[in-house]
A and B are shown apart, each in its own frame.
Chain A
Amino acid sequence: MDLEEAKEFKDRCSQCAAVSWGLTDEGKYYCTSCHNVTERSREVINTGAIPNTKIQAINRGLKRKRKLEKGWDWYVCEGFQHILYQQAKALQTLGVGPELKNEVLHNFWKRYLQKSKQAYCKNPVYTSRRKTTVLEDNPSHSDWDSEPELLSDLSCPSFVESGAESQPDVHTQKPFPIIKASQSETASVCSGSLDGVEYSLRKEKGIVKMTVPRTLAFCYLSLLWQRETLTLADLLRFVEEEHIPYINAFQHFPEEMKLYGRDKGIFAIESWPNYEDIYKKIIEVATFLDLPRFPDITEDCYLHPNILCMKYLMEVNLPDEMHDLTCHVVKVTGMGEVDFLTFDPIAKKGKTVKYDVQAVAVIVVVLKLLFLLDDNLEWSLSNIAEKYNEKNEEDKPWFDFRKWYQVMKTAVDEKKQKWEEARAKYLWKSEKPLYHSAIDRSVVYKRREMVVSLQKQFSTLVGSTPTVEKQSPSSFQFSWTEEGSDRTCFHGHSLQGVLKQKGQSLMTKNSLYWLSTQKFCKSYCKHVTTYEESNFSLSYQFILNLFSFLLRIKTSLLHEEVSLIEKRLFKAKYSTTKKKSSRSRKARKC
C-alpha cells in the first residue's frame, strides 16, 4: 500500500464519493473508506508529468467510448468564468485599472457562485442530488485544498494572476456528472461540458442563471463599482466594435474545452447586446448578489451628469457655454446629488440611473429651453444669428442652430450609413462551428468549410482595401476640431443670441416651453409615455435620433428620460392637471 503514490489519483470513489485512495498489490486503486477497488491501475495514471486531467480524459474516453469529441472535463460555470476573464482582460487593455479584474469582478463572481450554490457553500448544486454525500463528513480544508481541480486552474485562468493568491480561488466543488452519464448515451441530448444538459434544464426559482448577456452585467457592475470612465452605452458599443469579447467568446476557450450539443444554446449568441435588456440584467444580477451600496458618485466622477454632459456636448459639437445651463438643470432637478446617483441595489429596488441616457436627456431639455424646438423659433433665432455673424466677422460667432443642424445632419448620416454597412458585413459565425449532436456534426463542419471556401473565392474579387477596418476604441465617435471648413466646430460659439441680460442674471430669450408628455400613467405599468414620432416637431425628432444613435438606444427610451427630467423640472405643472403648453416662468440663472 502506497498512499503517497495513490495521491496522484484524484477521482471520486464511485461507491462513496470520497477521495481517499490506496494502492493494492496489483497496482490498482482502492478506496480507503469503503474498500471499493477500481479497475484503473496505477501505471496509466502515473505517466510522469502529464497533467491529471488529461489522463482522466483518456481514461473516461476509453471507458465511455463516446462518439463525440472528447476534451477536458469542464463545467458550464467555468465557461462563463472564462468569458468573464477574457472580458476583464479586454477592459484592462482599454485602460481600466487592474483592480477591476483582480478584485471587483473576481469577488462578484465568487459571490455569484456562492449565491447560485455552485461553489463556496455546503451542498453545492451538483452534489445535492446524490444519495450519499460524503462532503459533510470530510473536514472542510480537504474539500478546498486537496480537491482535484479539473479545469479551474489548468484551463480556466483564474482572475488573479499573481501566484500567491491564485491557488484557492475559484473552486467549483467537484461535481459528479451523474445525470449526464445516463443521458450521454442518447446521442441527441449531449453537451461538451459535463453539466451542459443539466444546466439547460435547470429552472430554480430565485436563481439568476448565468447567460452570455449577463456577463456584461457583471462587467458593468464592476465598472460602476470602480467608478470607471465608461458608461453602459460605451461598454455595449465596444462589444459591438469587438473590442470586448462577446459574440463567439467561446472561440477563445482552450482547445481542449469542447463545445457541442446543449452548450450551443448556452454559449452561442446571435444578437448584439441591447441597452435596455442589459440594464435590466444589471439590476437583476445586483439584486441577486445582494450587493451593498456602491461607492458614491460625486461631482468629480465621470458618471456625474455635469461631466457626462460636457462630454456629450463636445461629442455633438454644441457650444461649451451650454454646459452652464446643463449644470443648472442638474442642480434644479437634484439629479446631481450623491444619493440620487449612487446605485444601491437593496435600498432602491430595481432602479439605477442610466447615467449616459440621463446626461443626454439633460442636453435635450436645455436645447428645448433655448430653442423651443417647435420647427419655428429655432429657425428664426438662426436667422438672427446668421445676420449677426455676417456683420461681425471678427467677434466670437453666435451659435447658429441651422448651420449646426446642417453640419450634424451630414456627419450623422454618413456615420449611420457606415455603421449599417459594417453591421451588414458582420461575420457572425465562429471558426469553430457548434453542432447539436453527433449526427449533424459532419454536416455542420462541411457547411463551415463550404462557407470558408466561398468566402475565400470572393475575397479575391474584393478591392485591395480591407472590408471593415477595425476602429481603435474611443469614447468619442465624432471629432470636431477648429480647422476644417465643412465640418465647422461650434464649441467656441457663443449663446449671446439666445440669452438676454436681466439684472445680474442671464435669461433665455425664449420664454416658452412644451412638455414632451402631458400625462404620466397613473397605473403601475411604469410607462412614461409612448413616443409617436409624428406627433413631434422635426427638430426634436432630429435631436432624439442623433442622440439615440450615439448611444445605440431606442429613441423612445431617450424620450422617456426627457419626460422624466421635465417632470422633475416642472413639478408644479404636473401637480396641477393643466393641459395647456406650459410656460417656464423661472428665469434660468447662468
Chain B
Amino acid sequence: MSDFSEELIRPTTEDEQGEPRAPSGTGMCFPWLQKHIETIATGGKQEKDFAQTTSACLSLIQEALLKHQWQRAAEYMHSYFQILEDSDSNKRQIAPEIIWRLGSEILYYHPKSSVETFNTFADRMKNIGVMNYLKISLQHALYLLHHGMLEDANRNLSQAETWRYGEKSSSQEVLINLIQAYKGLLQYYIWSKKKMELSQLDEDDYAYNTASQNMLNHSWKTSINLCALIQIPGVWDPFVKSYVEMLEFYGDQDGAREVLTNYAYDEKFPSNPNAHIYLYNFLKREKAPREKLISVLKILYQIVPSHKLMLEFHRLLRKSENEEHHKLGLEVLFGVLDFAGCTKNITAWKYLAKYLRQTLMGSHLAWVQEEWNSRKNWWPSFHFSYFWAKSDWKEDKALACEKALVAGLLLGKGCRYFRNISKQDHQVLKKKIKQMKKSVKKYSIVNPGL
C-alpha cells in the first residue's frame, strides 16, 4: 500500500470537499460567481494553466457522463489522472475520491469494461492514500453484489473489515460498522435461503438437523455483524429488518423488541417512519395490548399522517373506551383525506361518513367543528366540487355516495356535491340515497336542529 506522506500528516475533512462539483439542488448556478470566488481564493494570483486545463477536463468528463458518452469520458479521464500529481496538495488530496467516483461510473457503463477492469481499478484506487480505502471497498462490494458475485463481495468485505490504519477517525469507524453490516446482510441472505430449503424438508428427515444447525451457525455470525451498526444512530432499515427476522425465528422476542424499540424511540436516531412501522407490526404479531399499539401509531401519525396504517389506527381508536381516543379517531380520518393521494380511498370516506354521523349523533358537534374550521375554506373545492360529483359518480358510485353524505353533513343539503348525487336516479342505490338524505337533514352541522 502506498501512503502519501501529506495525508498522514493531515487527514482532513475530505467528506466536505470530496464531492465532484455538481450543480446544487436549488437549480441556481452562477458560473461567473464561481470563477470570481476562485480568483479571490487564490489571492488574485492567476492560476496556472495546469489548474485551468485540469478543471476544464473535469467539467468535460462530467458533461460526457451526463450525455452517456462513456468512451469520450474515458478519454478525458485518461488525462485527468494527472491531478494526482498536482503540486497543490489540497487538490491532490481530494483528487482520489473524485477520480474514484467518475472512474467507477465510467467503468460501470463502458461497453468495453468488465468486472476484471473494475476490480483492478478499485484495487488501485483503494491504495491511493488511506482515506478512501473503506469507502471504495464498500462500493466495490456493492458493485460485485450488483453483478451477482456474492462470494467475491463477501471476500472483499472481509478484507475491508480487518483493515486498520492507525487511529481511525470517527467517520471511518462508522464505515467499518457499515462494512460489517453489509457482510451480515450477505449472511442473512444465505440464511434465508437455507430457511427456505428447511421449510421444504420433513422434520424427521436426517438432513433436517444438519440444515438447521447450519442455519444457526449463520445467524450467530450475522447477528454479531449486524448489531454493532444498529447501535449507531442512522437509518438502517434493511439491516434492522433482517436482524429482527432472525431473532424472532429463534424465539428471542425480547431481543427483537428491544432492538425495535431502540430503533424507534432513541432520540439520537433520525426520525424514521419505518422504525415505527416495524415496531407496530412486531407488536401486532405479538398481540400486544391495544393501548400499546395506539401509542406506537400515534407517533407514526405525527410523522406520516397519510400512511395507510392510519385507517387501522382509526379502527383501534374507535374501539378504545377512551373519549380522547374517539376524538383523535376523527382527527386521523380528516388528516388522511387532506392528502391528494387519498381522495379516492373509499374506505377512508366510508369511515368518515359513518364516524361523522356517529359523532354527531353522540352530540360531539364541537369536535367536528374544530376539524372543519380549518378545512372549510378548501375542502369544498378540493373534494366536493361539481366536477368531482360528476366524475366520482361516473367512476365509483359507492364512493360518490359516501362522499355525498360527508358533504351533506358538513356543508348542508344545499351543497353542490350533495345535490348532484341525491338527484341521481339509480335503482340499487335508491335506498341508500334516501337514507343519506335523511341523515343529512337530521345531523348536518349547517342547520342544526332542522
Q: Which positions in A face B, CB cutoff 8 Å?
A: 270-272, 420-421, 423-429, 433, 439-440, 443-444, 446-448, 450-451, 453-455, 457-463, 467
A/B interface sample: 26 pairs, CB < 8 A: A270-B50, A271-B49, A420-B56, A424-B56, A424-B57, A424-B60, A427-B79, A429-B82, A433-B85, A439-B5, A446-B4, A447-B2, A447-B4, A447-B85, A448-B85, A450-B124, A454-B81, A454-B124, A455-B81, A457-B117, A457-B121, A458-B78, A461-B74, A461-B113, A467-B75, A467-B78
**A162 shortest CB reach to chain B, Å:** 39
The SS class assigned to the B binding surface is helix
Of listed B5, B60, B79, B107, residue having the most chain A CB within 10 A: B79
B84 in the interface, Cβ–Cβ < 8 Å? yes
Chain B residue contacts of A440, Cβ below 8 A: 5
B48 in the interface, Cβ–Cβ < 8 Å? yes
**A15 shortest CB reach to chain B, Å:** 42
B77 in the interface, Cβ–Cβ < 8 Å? yes
B49 in complex: contacting residue of A272, A439, A455, A462, CB < 8 Å: A272
B226 in the interface, Cβ–Cβ < 8 Å? no
Chain A residue contacts of B110, Cβ below 8 A: 461
Chain A residue contacts of B75, Cβ below 8 A: 425, 462-463, 467
User: What is the bound-complex CA distance between A450 and B85, given in angstroms?
Assistant: 10
User: What is the bound-complex CA distance between A110 and B281, given in angstroms?
Assistant: 91
Supposing A447-B4, A454-B124, A461-B71 touch, asked if A428 and B82 sit within 8 A by C-beta, the answer is: yes
B391 in the interface, Cβ–Cβ < 8 Å? no
A428 in complex: contacting residue of B50, B120, B121, CB < 8 Å: B50
Chain B residue contacts of A448, Cβ below 8 A: 85
Query: Would you give the 0/1 interface string for B27-53, flagging 1 where the beta carbon is closer than 8 Å to chain A?
Result: 000000000000000000000111101
**A513 shortest CB reach to chain B, Å:** 33
B147 in the interface, Cβ–Cβ < 8 Å? no
Query: Would you give the 0/1 interface string for B190-205, flagging 1 where the beta carbon is closer than 8 Å to chain A?
Result: 0000000000000000
Supposing A425-B79, A458-B74 touch, asked if A450 and B56 sit within 8 A by C-beta, the answer is: no
User: What is the bound-complex CA distance between A520 and B60, given in angstroms?
Assistant: 41
Q: Are B106 and A426 in contact (CB under 8 A)?
A: no
Chain A residue contacts of B71, Cβ below 8 A: 461-463
B171 in the interface, Cβ–Cβ < 8 Å? no
**B54 shortest CB reach to chain A, Å:** 8
Interface size on B, residues (CB 8 A): 37
Query: Would you give the 0/1 interface string for B122-151, flagging 1 where the beta carbon is closer than 8 Å to chain A?
Result: 001000100000000000000000000000
Name B50's closest neighbour in chain A (CB-CB). A270
B112 in the interface, Cβ–Cβ < 8 Å? yes
Name B5's closest neighbour in chain A (CB-CB). A443
B393 in the interface, Cβ–Cβ < 8 Å? no
User: What is the bound-complex CA distance between A454 and B74, given in angstroms?
Assistant: 11
Supposing A420-B56, A423-B53, A439-B5 touch, asked if A450 and B128 sit within 8 A by C-beta, the answer is: yes
Name A461's closest neighbour in chain B (CB-CB). B74
User: What is the bound-complex CA distance between A270 and B74, given in angstroms?
Assistant: 24
Chain A residue contacts of B278, Cβ below 8 A: none
B367 in the interface, Cβ–Cβ < 8 Å? no
Of listed A446, A461, A462, residue having the most chain B CB within 10 A: A461
B373 in the interface, Cβ–Cβ < 8 Å? no
Supposing A447-B4, A450-B84, A451-B85 touch, asked if A459 and B49 sit within 8 A by C-beta, the answer is: no
Chain A residue contacts of B87, Cβ below 8 A: 270
B76 in the interface, Cβ–Cβ < 8 Å? yes
Chain A residue contacts of B112, Cβ below 8 A: 460-461
User: What is the bound-complex CA distance between A440 and B2, given in angstroms?
Assistant: 12
Chain B residue contacts of A450, Cβ below 8 A: 2, 84, 124, 128
Chain A residue contacts of B82, Cβ below 8 A: 427-429, 451
Q: Are A425 and B57 in contact (CB under 8 A)?
A: yes
Q: Are B50 and A461 in contact (CB under 8 A)?
A: no
Q: Which 8 A-B pairs have the closest CB atoms?
A: A270-B50, A461-B74, A271-B49, A424-B57, A270-B48, A425-B79, A424-B56, A446-B2
Chain A residue contacts of B77, Cβ below 8 A: 458
User: What is the bound-complex CA distance between A453 and B48, given in angstroms?
Assistant: 26
Query: Would you give the 0/1 interface string for B61-90, flagging 1 where the beta carbon is closer than 8 Å to chain A?
Result: 000000000110011111101101101000
Chain A residue contacts of B76, Cβ below 8 A: 424-425
Chain A residue contacts of B124, Cβ below 8 A: 450, 453-454, 457
User: What is the bound-complex CA distance between A448 and B117, given in angstroms?
Assistant: 20
User: What is the bound-complex CA distance between A448 and B107, given in angstroms?
Assistant: 22
Q: Are A461 and B81 in contact (CB under 8 A)?
A: no
Chain B residue contacts of A460, Cβ below 8 A: 112, 117
Q: Are B5 and A423 in contact (CB under 8 A)?
A: no
B84 in complex: contacting residue of A424, A447, A458, A463, CB < 8 Å: A447
Chain B residue contacts of A421, Cβ below 8 A: 60
Chain B residue contacts of A446, Cβ below 8 A: 2, 4
User: What is the bound-complex CA distance between A458 and B110, given in angstroms?
Assistant: 11
Given A421-B60, A440-B5, A461-B113, 6 extra CB contacts under 8 A: A270-B87, A424-B60, A425-B75, A425-B78, A427-B82, A457-B124
Q: Are B81 and A462 in contact (CB under 8 A)?
A: no
Q: Are B78 and A462 in contact (CB under 8 A)?
A: yes
Q: Are B85 and A429 in contact (CB under 8 A)?
A: yes
Q: Are B79 and A426 in contact (CB under 8 A)?
A: yes
User: What is the bound-complex CA distance between A428 and B53, given in angstroms?
Assistant: 10
Chain A residue contacts of B54, Cβ below 8 A: 424
Q: Are B2 and A457 in contact (CB under 8 A)?
A: no
Chain B residue contacts of A426, Cβ below 8 A: 53, 79
Of listed B53, B57, B103, residue having the most chain A CB within 10 A: B53
Name A448's closest neighbour in chain B (CB-CB). B85
Of listed A444, A450, A458, A462, residue having the most chain B CB within 10 A: A458
User: What is the bound-complex CA distance between A278 and B77, given in angstroms?
Assistant: 32
Chain A residue contacts of B128, Cβ below 8 A: 450
Query: Would you give the 0/1 interface string for B256-274, flagging 1 where the beta carbon is closer than 8 Å to chain A?
Result: 0000000000000000000
Chain A residue contacts of B113, Cβ below 8 A: 461
User: What is the bound-complex CA distance between A461 and B74, given in angstroms?
Assistant: 6
Q: Are A443 and B79 in contact (CB under 8 A)?
A: no
Chain B residue contacts of A428, Cβ below 8 A: 50, 53, 82
Chain A residue contacts of B103, Cβ below 8 A: 454, 458
**B97 shortest CB reach to chain A, Å:** 14
Name B83's closest neighbour in chain A (CB-CB). A451
**B84 shortest CB reach to chain A, Å:** 5
User: What is the bound-complex CA distance between A443 and B8, given in angstroms?
Assistant: 12
Name B112's closest neighbour in chain A (CB-CB). A461
Name A425's closest neighbour in chain B (CB-CB). B79
Q: Which of B330-353 contact A (CB under 8 A)?
A: none
Supposing A428-B82, A440-B5, A450-B84 touch, asked if A462 and B50 sit within 8 A by C-beta, the answer is: no
Name B85's closest neighbour in chain A (CB-CB). A429
Chain A residue contacts of B78, Cβ below 8 A: 425, 455, 458-459, 462, 467
